[in-house]
Amino acid sequence: MQNIEYFNFDCAFIGADGVDSKFGYTTSDLSEALKIRKIIEKSQEVYFVCDSSKFHEVYMSSIAPLSDSVLITNERDEVIEEKLKQLIC
C-alpha cells in the first residue's frame, strides 16, 4: 500500500463485491478496501466495473459512496439509477 503513494493515475477501473444505493461500493476484505480507497484518492477519474449480480449486496468493508465514481455495468437498476441521479443534481 505504501507504493501506491508514489503513483498518480489518470483513471482507475475498479471492481467491488457489492453495489448498494445506501452503502455504496463494498467488499468483504478490509485490506482490499483500504488499497482501493488509496487508489481512488490518487486517481483523476474512477470507474467501478460491476455486473448486476453485485446490486443490492452489502459487505462489511466500505470502499466508497456511489458519488465517487462512474458505474459501468451490464444491466440497469432503477434504485441505483435514482440514487445516482440524486447525487448528480
Instruction: Give the number of domains in the chain.
Output: 1
| pLDDT values of the chain reduced to their tens digit, one per residue, 89 residues | 789 999 999 999 999 999 999 999 999 999 999 999 999 999 999 999 999 999 999 999 999 999 888 999 999 999 988 888 787 66
Task: Give the pLDDT of residue 67.
Answer: 87
Tell me 21's DSSP state.
T
pTM for the whole structure: 0.89
Could you list the residue range(s) of the whole structural domain that residue 83 is in?
2-88
| Separation between Cα atoms, residue 61 and residue 18, nearest integer Å | 10
| Separation between Cα atoms, residue 59 and residue 8, nearest integer Å | 28
Please state, in angstroms and as integers, the Cα–Cα distance from residue 4 to each residue in 8, 14, 54, following that order.
8, 15, 26
